[in-house]
Amino acid sequence: MLLVFIMAIQIITLSGCWDYRDINSVALPQLGAYDIHEESRSGTSDLPQEEKLVDLTVVIPNLSEEVKAKFRIEKTPGLLIGNSRGQKPYSSPGDYSPAVASIIVFGEDEAATGLNKLNEALSRGAKNPHTVNYSVAEGRGENILRVPTDDYSTMGDYLRLLLRSSEKRGFIPSSTLHQFEVDQNPGKNPVMPLLIIKDEKVMVNGAAIFNKDKMIGKVGLKETQYLMMLRGIESNGNLPYILNKDGKIYDYGSLSITNNRKVTMERNGNEFTFNISIILEGGLNEHSSNVLFTQNKDLRKEIEDQVTSDITEGCNKFIKRMQEEYKVDCIDISKYALAKWRKELQPTIDQGFIENVAIKVDVKMKLKSIGELN
Amino acid sequence: MKKISRKPLADDQAWKEAKQKIPDTQLPAALNDKMQMLQPYLQKGADIITRPFYLEGEPPLSAVSIHLNKVIDDEALNQHILRPLMLNCRRESIQDLGAQNLIDAIYKTSITASQIRKINTFAALVQTIFDGFTVLLFDGIEEVLVIDIHGGEFRAIDAPPAEQTMRGSREGFIEILDVNIALVRRRLRDPNLVVEKTLVGTRTRTQAAILYIADIADPKIVSEVKSRIDQMNLDGIVASGYVEQFIEDNPYSIFPQTFTTERPDRMVPLLLEGRIGIIVNNTPLALVVPALFVQFIQASEDYYERSIFSSYIRILRYLALLVAISFPALYIALLSFQPELIPYDLVISFSRARSSVPFPVIVEALVMEIIIQLVIEAGLRLPQQIGQTVGVVSGIILGQAAISAKLASPIVILIISVSIICTYALPSASMVLTTRLLRLPIMLLAATFGIFGISFGWMIVQTHLIGLESIGVPYFSPLAPMRYPDLKDSFIRVFLKKMNRRPVSIPMQDRKRQGNDGKGPEQQ
Amino acid sequence: MKDKAGSTISSKQLIFLIIGSQIGIRLLYLPREITGIAQEDAWLAMLIATIVPIVSLFLIDRLGKRMPEMGFTQMSQALFGRFFGSILIILFIVYVIGFESVVVRIFSEVTKLYLLPRTPLVVIVFMFIFTVVYAGSKGARVIGRLNELLFYLLLVNFLVLMIPIGEADYTNLLPVGEAGWDGIGRGVLIAAQYYAGIEILLVFYSLVNRKDEILKAGIIATGITAVLYVVIVLICESVFGVAGMQHQLFPGLVLLKVVQIPVIERLEFIFLFFWMGMGARPAINMGFAASLSLTQLLKLDEKKYLPYLLMVIGLAMYILALLPPNLLTVFDMARYAGYGFYVIGIVYPLIYLIMAFARGGKVKQSA
């Protein structure tokens, strides 16, 4: 009976197969770049309001092994992302399946105008994962896609390996769709890794600072490091140190460290004081002098102190810059104030809050291991 | 309790007709009259051997022995019946003793065969001849001696081919019922083991035995099984499979509701749990009811190995069941409906692999599935050596050829092969058939609705399984209804010492299996 | 009483039956609905709201104790007379059809959105109704067992929903109690609707074989449901933040998309396997309850006609589920259906009890 029923349903429904799409007729974009529309290349169909258009550039690997090119790059303009996808059928065969893309590169100019309108299409499409990695390119995003890759099969492969869990390898923030959305909650602001092209290669060069969905600044690699530590993104990275005595360098080297953050806060009327304690733990990679740690008990302490003062200084400088220049909380501490006085603070937390609070940084460095050499 | 709606019978039309053909009269005394009456039945049976002889005496008593050729043990007939009667028989005359006493004297003093009885009606005489007994007819005596010296040529007890184990006994059931019962009895010497013989099949008159342990098995289930067997009214029952189809609750289901085994050492523990065994003559496969779904995933070896290994293997088998049914479907669903659910590299390599195949995934998978099913079927029917060759040839050559002819991608061959291997990892042959059949509709559902179709298919199968009953016992127990104590012996098998009580999924009278509630006797 | 031998369920199965009627697709959008009102204190509202199903449970148990062997239909007709009793039953059936058609529609919409964007809604709804009718037609015993099994299977789904806990930020849950009594109170009113499903006990009371354990089973069931609800609210709140969650239509499903796990990449993968069971379960239970009441109302043989009446009810659900033009209307309908729970879950047993008190000893004779 069961079988008869199933067969009956089959007969009724097999006439449909509405959603059946053969995998070989599907275009599987690996990464995309979202940019402001370039005037020179006009649309393939009549599109409204030329000045508001965006360009969607995607890398689609070629499935057949018989063709020479490993992938092709497709660029279509549109009012927004969904509209740009709608232009694909004119220029490329294959059923466009955006849900498989794993990297999005935003152009710098586009990011400055606000990304929520572009993020929409990815977030609204129910099949899209919210783990797609976001990054900002210096200049146009599509240029990143067009950088020739000989050592990786596609730029997508390269960027995926570069950006996915990048914080495990260095002080590079990684941002996903989910984080981008969550970081726009009251009192929070997103950051994204910043990509540049240098010597025909794509590399990470710092971070992009956002005020909600609008990019407002870029910071270099060194500052990104402080940003990561202040923001409390747990990461592993490499830190150099230089020890001076009487104006003379007597030892230098590098440490591999992991960071951690604890925030406490006090309120006095309308005066807010945040205490950020950054805990760094790590081991020595190398050092230049042949001083033995067992003989010179102070060396370890000196390295720790040096790193502590370096980081404290850098962090304070960064906080100053944030409060004076960016005027947004990109180190994710307002949430602790919200956790206590949400009703009161929530309406004004994003306007003029972070500029007027006192932020104290306390760095603790613990050199836990020195490796196998003495 | 659910009953199959069939015509009520026991002594109904067909039986009566069959009986009416043979006049149910008393036998005459004279040998010639008896032979005269038998003549119509004997003359058309070339395999019926009538052997006239004389019992020595004054006057010699003429007698005839009738038996079917090669059904009885010739040696026994000669040694234990004919020889003593012809050579050593006492010489008392009929007149001296009287007919009644003479026949008693004959079988008490002369015949050394052990199974012997007397009958005196014609119908019974004819039946016993055709049932394979040796009958002795004497002149002047109405009663006839019936001697059971069944024998002749039959297969020796052999290792069960379909249920081989590493550690279990090497004995499997054979075609002869009495031997099979003996195999069980040798392992289960409980006086409470009941063996009830009955005849099934109005024409084949096949012997069947119902085995159960009187103080464990639930009498309601026993009587239900008996009544279902009695209700069978088919003219020919040649194998236990016939009986199976008649006693199961839901003949339209694709799930086996009767457990078949060819191992006496698999049957005995099942009897000890309160189940009922049915052995049919001429079939080396015994039936055990009520059957549960979990039983089909268990093998006898599970109980011989230590519990950790058997638990591991069992979990693997459940996994195999899942994979066997839904792996090809999953491939179709993921590739044609939800490519975003698989890692990107995998999608690309899948679609690269099948970029040269011109068919849709479902066609490719269906073609390979059907080819492989046919290969299995061909391998089963062919002689063993050729069968193996067919398997290897088709496995290697067909697969390679299909790939290079761009009929199929290597992945689909891999997927189908894995699901076939998983199918045959199941210990029960009937569950293997179910799996082979179930794979196809799930594949079609996947091709129509993707993962939603698989989910739908599983939901329907699951509901169907829960609704099934085997002789009124919930088939999917102990999983639904959840019988928590029985979970000890479902996905895993715990240490034997911990299984103090019989499973509650099978109704029984006596729950205690061992020890003093939790502690083995030696563990006081 | 008619032959009930083949259709009793154990009190343990009752626990799963009640849970199964309560938890369904609503699990996936409930955090948004409640945080929209009670803000960070949604979980508190969810917890306090258990009072409503417990009150309902007590009332039904009281009522059932007075007339333990009577089915819902007979009880109504005995208390209110043939005519008014029938009207009450018909209202109950209409409520079930309305409520479950909303559930089926939302589930079909989600299925369409996530899995089968181009398949017509008609077909998806048909698949759900088919499952409901197929499972429901097998009778109370099978439904009891099915709920038992599905509870354990769907626990897997629930555990999958808990994996994104690594993304959680506890500051999103703080401060506690800031929504105030006003916010929490209004939250409770909405939250209590998500415990709808307990009213199935009206019908199943007479089918449970051990009446003395019903109250305990009901409380355990409500407790388990409350724990699952509170956990899902807490996870959604801490992962998305209250403000962020308002953008998600189904925060429960988005939870699955925010983390990436090795090998199978996406969590939906596991989740979707039990999709059908999760979607159809409440509709199976309630649909069966409605068709059982209908057979009793029409005085038909339960074994023979129940599947056909279930088909009729399924058809009604099918048509009603396809009526609303879009998902937003369905959410509005869901809210109305939720208020219907107050009527069936609280008002019904209350007026029945009052009537029973008023009638006193006369009930038994007229029955």
- In a domain, residue C93? The reply is yes
Among residues B291, B306, B329, the one where a domain terminates is B291
B512: helix, strand or coil: strand
Contacts of A372 (CB under 8 A, 6+ apart): none
Q: Other CB atoms closer than 10 Å to residue B78's CB: what's the count?
A: 11
Distances (CA, A) of C203 to B92, C64, C79, C206: 85, 10, 15, 7
- Kindly report which listed range (A79-88, B389-398, C106-115) carries the lowest average pLDDT score: B389-398
Q: What confidence tens digit (pLDDT) does each residue in B421-471 have?
A: 999 889 888 899 999 999 998 998 898 888 999 999 999 999 999 999 888
Q: What confidence tens digit (pLDDT) does each residue in A315-328 have?
A: 999 999 998 888 88
Residues B339 and B450 in one domain: yes
Start-to-end C-alpha separation, chain A: 78
Range of the domain at B83: 13-147
Counting one residue from A and one from C, how many pairs have CB atoms under 8 Å apart? 66
Residue B189 CA to its chain's centroid (Å): 22
Q: Is the four-CA dihedral B97, B103, B108, B111 of positive or negative sign?
A: positive
Mean pLDDT of A21-45: 76
CA distance C67 to chain A (A): 39
**Residue entry with tokens 């990695």:** A133
- In a domain, residue C200? The reply is yes
B211 φ, ψ to 5°?
-115, 135
Which residues of C lie closer than 8 Å to B, measured between beta carbons? 10, 12-13, 111, 115-116, 119, 124, 127, 131, 134-135, 138, 142, 144-146, 148-149, 152, 263-266, 268-269, 272-277, 280
Tokens of A262: 């604890």
The answer on pLDDT for A114 being more than 60 is: yes
Determine, for residues A24 and B252 on separate chains, whether the beta-carbon distance falls below 8 Å: no
At residue B313, the pLDDT reads 92
Question: Nearest to residue A118, comparing CAs of A53, A59, A168, A27?
Answer: A53
Asked whether the beta carbons of A128 and A159 are under 8 A apart, the reply is no
DSSP B243-266: HHHHH-S-TT-SS--SEEES-HHH
- In a domain, residue B347? The reply is yes
- Kindly report which listed range (A44-53, A211-220, A346-355) carries the lowest average pLDDT score: A44-53
B470: helix, strand or coil: strand
B147: helix, strand or coil: strand
Distances (CA, A) of B119 to B21, B116, B123, B204, B365: 19, 10, 10, 21, 66
Among residues B474, B490, B509, the one where a domain terminates is B474
What is d(CA A87, CA A120) in angstroms, rounded to the nearest whole number?
18
What is d(CA C350, CA C52) in angstroms, rounded to the nearest whole number?
13
Residues B221 and B274 in one domain: yes
At residue A46, the pLDDT reads 57
**Residue entry with tokens 């007698």:** B63
Predicted complex ipTM exceeds 0.95:
no
- In a domain, residue C364? The reply is no
How many residues are given for chain A?
374
- In a domain, residue C101? The reply is yes
DSSP B39-67: HHHHTT-TTEEEEEEEE-SSSPEEEEEEE
Asked whether the beta carbons of B65 and B145 are under 8 A apart, the reply is no
Give the angle subtended at the CA of B151 by the CAs of B145 and B153, to the nearest 5°: 150
Asked whether the beta carbons of A60 and A71 are under 8 A apart, the reply is yes
Asked whether the beta carbons of A208 and A175 are under 8 A apart, the reply is no
Round the average pLDDT of chain A to a whole number and report it.
Answer: 85
Distances (CA, A) of A130 to A102, A360, B492, C172: 9, 35, 38, 20
DSSP B431-450: HHHHHHHHHHHHHHHHHHHT
Residue C226 CA to its chain's centroid (Å): 13
Residue A253 CA to its chain's centroid (Å): 29
> Which has more confidence, A370 or C50?
C50
> Domains of chain A by range and CATH?
22-219 (no CATH), 231-374 (3.30.300.210)
What is d(CA C70, CA C207) in angstroms, rounded to the nearest whole number?
9
CA distance A336 to chain C (A): 7
Beta strand B48-55 with A271-287 is unpaired
Asked whether the beta carbons of B262 and B284 are under 8 A apart, the reply is yes
**How many folded domains does chain C comprise?**
1
Which chain A residue lies closest to B361 (C-alpha atoms)?
A22
Helices (H), C115-139: 121-136
Residues B233 and B104 in one domain: no
CA distance A93 to chain B (A): 15
What is d(CA C339, CA C347) in angstroms, rounded to the nearest whole number?
11
B322 close contact with C: CB closer than 8 A: no
- In a domain, residue B349? The reply is yes
The answer on pLDDT for B261 being more than 80 is: yes
- In a domain, residue C228? The reply is yes
Best to test chain C binding among B463, B477, B487 (most C CBs inside 10 Å): B463
Round the average pLDDT of chain B to a whole number and report it.
Answer: 84
CA distance A92 to chain B (A): 17
The answer on pLDDT for B521 being more than 60 is: no
At residue A15, the pLDDT reads 60
**How many folded domains does chain B comprise?**
3
Beta strand A95-96 with A26-27 is parallel
- In a domain, residue B440? The reply is yes
What is d(CA C212, CA B175) in angstroms, rounded to the nearest whole number?
55
What is d(CA B64, CA B8) in angstroms, rounded to the nearest whole number?
41
The one-letter amino acid at C89:
I
Residues B130 and B182 in one domain: no
Determine, for residues B362 and A20 on separate chains, whether the beta-carbon distance falls below 8 Å: yes
Q: What confidence tens digit (pLDDT) does each residue in A235-263 have?
A: 898 888 898 888 888 888 899 999 999 99
The answer on pLDDT for B18 being more than 60 is: no
- In a domain, residue B268? The reply is yes
C141 φ, ψ to 5°?
-60, -45
Residues B281 and B363 in one domain: no
What is d(CA B149, CA C158) in angstroms, rounded to the nearest whole number?
67
At residue A13, the pLDDT reads 59
- In a domain, residue B157? The reply is no
At residue B93, the pLDDT reads 56
Asked whether the beta carbons of B471 and B290 are under 8 A apart, the reply is yes
Tally of CA atoms within 13 A in the half-sphere of B2 that contains its CB: 17
Range of the domain at C268: 5-355
Asked whether the beta carbons of A205 and A220 are under 8 A apart, the reply is yes
Residues B287 and B321 in one domain: no
Give the angle subtended at the CA of A300 by the CAs of A299 and A301, to the nearest 5°: 90
> Which has more confidence, B422 or B104?
B422
DSSP label at B305?
Answer: S
What is d(CA C174, CA C320) in angstroms, rounded to the nearest whole number?
42
Beta bridge partners of A273: A266, A358
B341 close contact with C: CB closer than 8 A: yes
- Kindly report the CATH number assigned to the domain that includes residue C84: 1.20.1740.10
At residue B13, the pLDDT reads 52
Q: What confidence tens digit (pLDDT) does each residue in B481-508 have?
A: 888 888 888 888 888 888 888 888 888 8
DSSP label at B341?
Answer: G
Asked whether the beta carbons of C203 and C293 are under 8 A apart, the reply is yes
Counting DSSP H helices and E strands in chain B, the numbers are 20, 12
- In a domain, residue C360? The reply is no
DSSP C91-113: HHHHHHHHHHHHHHHHHHHHHHH
Which of A9, A128, A185 is the closest to C241 by Cβ?
A185
Asked whether the beta carbons of A300 and A369 are under 8 A apart, the reply is no
- In a domain, residue C229? The reply is yes
Question: Nearest to residue A22, comparing CAs of B398, B399, C147, B358?
Answer: B358
- In a domain, residue C241? The reply is yes
Mean pLDDT of B505-518: 76
Interior/surface letters B7-39, b for 16+ CB within 10 angstroms, e for the rest = eeeeeeeeeeeeeeebeeeebeeebeebbebbe
Helices (H), B131-176: none
At residue B95, the pLDDT reads 60
At residue A196, the pLDDT reads 92
Residues B231 and B331 in one domain: no
How many residues are given for chain B?
524
The answer on pLDDT for B519 being more than 70 is: no
At residue A371, the pLDDT reads 81
Q: State the chains in contact with B (3 or more Cβ–Cβ pairs under 8 Å).
A: A, C
Element (H, E) at A347: none
The pLDDT confidence band at residue A210, using thresholds 50, 70 and 90, is very high
Beta bridge partners of B194: B212
B274: helix, strand or coil: coil
At residue B252, the pLDDT reads 86
Question: Nearest to residue B304, comparing CAs of B262, B275, B268, B276?
Answer: B268
Residues 250-289 of C with CB under 8 A from A: 253-254, 257-260, 266
Asked whether the beta carbons of A300 and A370 are under 8 A apart, the reply is yes
How much of chain B exceeds pLDDT 90, in percent?
Answer: 27
**Residue entry with tokens 């169909």:** A45
Round the average pLDDT of chain C to a whole number and report it.
Answer: 87
Residue C339 CA to its chain's centroid (Å): 13
Determine, for residues C275 and B480 on separate chains, whether the beta-carbon distance falls below 8 Å: no
C167 close contact with A: CB closer than 8 A: yes
Residues B86 and B191 in one domain: no
What is the dihedral angle through the alpha carbons of B330, B336, B337, B342, rounded to the nearest 10 degrees? 60
Element (H, E) at A277: strand A271-287
> Which has more confidence, A160 or B391?
A160
C107 φ, ψ to 5°?
-65, -40
Determine, for residues B348 and A13 on separate chains, whether the beta-carbon distance falls below 8 Å: no
Mean pLDDT of A147-152: 86
Contacts of B75 (CB under 8 A, 6+ apart): B151
Asked whether the beta carbons of A75 and A32 are under 8 A apart, the reply is no
Tokens of B33: 């009259």
Which of B341, B449, B463 is the closest to C138 by Cβ?
B463
Which of B336, B348, B441 is the closest to A22 by Cβ?
B336
Asked whether the beta carbons of A327 and A319 are under 8 A apart, the reply is no
With a cut of 50, which residues of chain C have pLDDT below it?
A: 1-5, 365-367
- Kindly report which listed range (A146-155, A215-224, C8-17, C353-362) carries the lowest average pLDDT score: C353-362
Which of B450, B460, B476 is the closest to C116 by Cβ?
B450
Determine, for residues B452 and C275 on separate chains, whether the beta-carbon distance falls below 8 Å: yes
Beta bridge partners of A48: none
